[in-house]
Amino acid sequence: MKVEGEHLFTGTQQQVWDLFRDTEVMAAALPGTKKMELIGENTYEAVMNVRVGPVVGEFSGQLVISNEDHPNSYTMTVDGRGKPGFLKGVGDVILTNQGENQTLMGYTGEVQIGGKLAAVGQRLIDTVAKSIISQAFETLDNALAERVSAEAEGREAAYRKSSESDYAATVAKDLIKNVLKRTGSSEDS
Amino acid sequence: MTYKVIGKRVKRVEDPRLLTGGALFVGDVNLPNMLHAAFFRSDYAHAKIKSIDTSRAKEIPGVVGVYTAEDMGEAWEPGPPLVSPPPTLEGVVFNSRRQVPLVKDKVKHAGEIIAVVVAESRYIAEDAVEEIFVDYEPLPAVTDLEKCLEPGHPLVHDDLDTNLAAHLVQNKGDYEAAKKEADLVLKRKFKLDRGAAAAMENRGIVVDWDQKNQHLMVWDTTQSPIPIRNGMATRLGLRTHQVRVVAPFVGGGFGPKIMMFYAEEMVLPWLTMKLNRPVKWIEDRKENFYATTQEREQVQEVEMALSKEGRILGIKQKIIHDTGAFDPYGLTTPLNTQSHSMGGYDVQNYNSELFVVFTNKIIVTPVRGAGRPQGIYIVERMLDIASKELKLDPRDVRRLNFIPKDAFPYNHEIIDQAFVELILDSGDYLPAYEKALEKIEYDKFVQEEQPRLRAEGKHVGIGVVPFIETTGVGPYEGARVAVEPSGKISAATGVGTQGQSHMTSFAQIIAEELGVEVEDVSLVSGDTAEIHWGTGTFASRGAVVAGNAVLAAASDVRKKVLKLASKILETPEDELELGGGLVRVVDIPEKSISLGELAVLANPFRGAVEPGTEPGLESIKYFGPAYGATAFGVHGMILEVDPETMMIKIHKYIAVEDCGTMLNPLVVEGQIHGGVSMGIGNAYYEKLHYDENAQLLNASLVDYLIPTSAEMPHIEVYHENTPAPNNKLGTKGVGEAGAIPVPAAFAQALENALPDFNLEITETPLSPNRLFELLYKSEE
């Protein structure tokens, strides 16, 4: 499965870079993340609860950051496994300065899935992946705003963690959007 | 007057039990003290096992044991090679690699079993499976039929330096010489993909080792109980009489249930003997997608040489056949493809090169049709395409090429799945074809209906496809028939029953022979305690091979009845007749004796019998044909395509079948209906989607679409009768017929329905999605 897209952040390239390289923020942004720990140089160990339609279960695995070109790009490799199957992905993240306080984050990647996740979750995985990503961006936007204002005010940033119910709501919203798109009854792009 | 019941539309005697829940299925078998097994299956299609941790699973209360390959010790061995390559063909390469009970070192397809949990309940066993941890080293999967033979490609079997499972060439005449004479040489590539058999009842096994009696009792959803019994005894070091296998009522076989031995069939007997307790396993639907064999994946390059009149001068073919990770079933399926690639046509020059390849996909063994639909698909598609190129009526092209009636027996001069020359025993194809055209009102449709509907903006098309079905092959089958002291008849045969109505149609044969009512015959099929020899239910051979064995045994009992009755009634045998459960003197009907009385007299408790006399009115007989009986049929359909959704509606469906003598037309028609529904699935709905990692992406009945009653048309079935000359009943098989021509007929009808597109269909199964893509592509 191919994953690609882009998102415009309000912040400098350095701020966005720092955001992405902050384990706590990333763990908060990905719904269902139970644990994310730095276990070696650029290597994280993560435990994440995944819910794809009828397929539910915990995934554990490693996330490795490589090809780091500060503050422009890096490669992320994910290798996770759990009762619902397995997941393996490689993706590139590229940040580009889009003028004052605007940073475009572009990502492309290839994800392999297997087991129940592939067999039963296949028809939903696309929507779910998009939902996870859009949910993550929403959280990251908020986190970035909080970070920027905290920095300006000289206080500690307080993040709101994305909850699983937020995520479930996003999935439901995206699924309905897809159905409406298919039946042609929505103007939504 | 002789009593006639063969050929009558007798209602199925097994139905009352089936319809009222009174029939035993393996799932109904529950024994005291019984344990339940659940399997840990690999998510990966191709991976080395680095370690297996079952410790947490073992700690769960109610778990009796968790076992891996290592625990099996000496008992671990791969399944037997079920079918060898034909010894009658020269130059065959065949690399035999068989499935294993539990994976030792490397997983070769998703769903392979790595560990088994035995617990007090299935719930506990399933929970424990979730606690097993296997550390894998994933390997690149082999999935692409065309690329997998390239040097340097990853290997399914590391001990082979290739993914080639088999290679052979079959040749008839001289294709290259024929090609030089041709006005048209057509070349096309075809892709035929996988589907599931998806029987309503999944597989299941219950095993019970009785330590004190030293006896193993097995209930198994197999199509082949006697070979399972024989194989289990051998594997376990028991004598055959220590093992009894019962295949009770089985909810659909369709081929995969004749695979032997499935891993579960190797593991469960070992478990019951190890634990001294009965063990049960019933396959769930998801397991069925990964653990039960599948079929039909091939890539074919086909060349057909024709004269400008449309006469086939020769066919050249390269088949790459996917056998999945193992090849226990030998070459049966691709040999069937070759046997059907010339169809019912007089083709003098044929050259076919077959490559069978290993991939990291689920094992391939025959599924209803068993290679035949692929052969019929390519020959019929080529004729349709040739008709367009030569601007000929596709009907005339077929008429011109049919094997004429006086050419039978017709030798296709290649080796078939029974290892003998493919000889079509009998047939009369042209009249059956004309009948189909007449019944579907072909002329009226193309001249009146189609133009009228097209004017209304409707996309309607017609497809009519003839096909042969090689059936009734050897080696042999047996039957036991006995008159009980009650006068009722008991009978047994080794072919298991998965819905074929054996209990009715075989009873009809016996009833007619012995002059009793069908209801008075009780037939057991699929219990090794009832008959010792047999092979199984496959290759559309029940009515031919088992049917004629039943006839032979019943005839022998009839002889014994007449001999004894003649002595007792003091009347010559030729003056006696059987009827109403009695033997009567023809001229003096009141002078008679019942079959029951004769049975008692045939088994005296005291006194002396004549030397050489056998007790009872019983006989066991066998039937084995030199070569098969080949059936013929023509299916026609009129369908409409919705140009927006690409959904299909079949307006009319007709089938003309010639399966020789029909034992029971109701049963024949039921087989056709079932086969057609499977064929419609194969043509337009049922496709197993594997990704490039050999992951199955639609392993549930939500995503894998089986036609429902909503997709099924009303089917009109008509019959022709060319009795098989090589068996007494004159029967030919019909069990797979329905599924064979449908994808080819579908393709023809779709092209006919969409004349504005440059549509040429060379693949199956299609789907609304895929048809949309093809139309979009053809517009470009």
| Average pLDDT value for residue range B139-159 | 96
Helix (H, G, I), strand (E, B) or coil at B100: coil
> In the predicted model, what is the mean pLDDT of residues A183-187?
47
Q: Which two tokens stand for residue A119?
A: 């067999």
Average pLDDT in chain B: 95
3-state helix, strand, coil in chain B (%, to 5): 30, 25, 45
| C-beta atoms of A114 and B130 within 8 A | no
- Picking from B138, B693, B699, the nearest residue to A119 by CB comes out as B699
Least CB–CB distance from A112: residue in B110, B693, B696: B693
* Interface membership of B44 toward A (CB under 8 Å): yes
Could you give the C-alpha distances from B700 to A102, B203, B223, B451, B526, in angstroms and in order? 46, 16, 24, 42, 30
Our CA-based measurement puts residue B152 at a distance from the nearest CA of chain A, in whole angstroms, of 23
- Cβ separation of A123 and B138 shorter than 8 Å? no
The pLDDT of residue B454 is above 50: yes
Phi and psi of B670, rounded to 5°? Answer: -60, -40
Considering only A94-103, A166-175, B575-584, which range has the smallest mean pLDDT? Answer: A166-175
What is the distance in angstroms between the Cα of B776 and the nearest Cα belonging to chain A? 18
Dihedral (CA of B327, B333, B337, B339) sign: positive
- The larger pLDDT score, comparing residue B187 to residue A29, is at B187
With an 8 Å Cβ cutoff, is B698 touching chain A? yes
Q: In what order do the strands lie in the sheet with A33-40?
A: A2-10, A102-114, A85-97, A73-82, A55-69, A43-52, A33-40
Amino acid type, B686? E
| pLDDT mean over B196-211 | 97
**Averaged pLDDT, B7-13:** 96
* Cβ contacts of B138 on chain A, cutoff 8 Å: 88
pLDDT digits over A118-168, tens only? 888 777 777 888 888 888 888 888 888 888 888 888 888 776 665 666 666
Inter-residue contact A150 to A157 (CB < 8 Å): yes
**pLDDT for position B226:** 95
Q: CATH: 3.30.70.270, 2.60.40.10, 3.30.365.10, 3.40.640.10. Which one for B294-473+626-779?
A: 3.30.365.10
What is the number of other CB atoms lying within 10 angstroms of the CB of residue B574? 9
- Fold matches, B15-22+474-623 and B294-473+626-779: yes
Looking at residue B392, what is its pLDDT? Answer: 98
Core vs surface per residue A147-157: b (16+ CB within 10 A) or e? bbeeeeeeeeb
pTM for the model: 0.92
Which chain A residues are closer than 8 Å to B289 by Cβ? 119
B77-91, B285-299, B300-314: which range is least confident on average? Answer: B77-91
Rounded average pLDDT over B603-627: 88
Of all helices (H) and strands (E), which one includes residue A18?
Answer: helix A13-20
Q: How far is A188 from chain B (nearest CA, A)?
A: 22
The pLDDT, as a whole number, for residue A168 is: 65
Contact across the interface for B110 and A122, Cβ inside 8 Å: no
The pLDDT confidence band at residue B780, using thresholds 50, 70 and 90, is low
Model confidence at B396: pLDDT above 90: yes
Query: Which among A115, A120, A123 is the nearest to B43, CB-wise?
Result: A115
For residue B702, what is the nearest residue in chain A, using CA coordinates? A120
Query: What whole-number distance in Å separates Cα of residue B630 and Cα of residue B289?
Result: 32
Of 3.30.530.20, 3.10.105.10, 2.60.40.3680, 3.40.50.300, which CATH number belongs to A2-183? 3.30.530.20
Q: Does B399 touch chain A (CB under 8 A)?
A: no
> Fold for domain B15-22+474-623?
Aldehyde Oxidoreductase; domain 4 (3.30.365)
| Contact at CB, A114 and B286, closer than 8 angstroms | no
Domain assignments of chain B as residue spans, ordered by start: 15-22+474-623, 31-139+201-251+256-291, 294-473+626-779
The residue ranges of every structural domain in chain A are 2-183
Cα–Cα distance for residue pair B152/B142, rounded to 1 Å: 12
CATH of B31-139+201-251+256-291, one of 3.30.565.10, 2.40.40.20, 3.90.1170.50, 3.20.20.70: 3.90.1170.50
Residues 6+ apart with CB under 8 A from B587: B575
The answer to whether ipTM exceeds 0.85 is no
Q: In Å, what is the CA distance from B352 to each residue of B176, B332, B334, B349? A: 12, 15, 11, 10
Most A-contacting residue of B40, B41, B42, B43 (CB-CB within 10 A), to test interface: B43
Which of A120, A124, A183 to mutate to probe the B interface, most B CBs <10 Å? A120
Least confident range of B77-86, B357-366, B613-622: B77-86
Reply yes or no: is the peptide bond before residue B409 cis, omega within 30 of 0: yes
B135 touches chain A (CB under 8 A): no
Q: A5-19, A41-55, B163-177, B529-543: lowest mean pLDDT where? A: A41-55
Pairs across A and B, CB distance < 8 A: 43
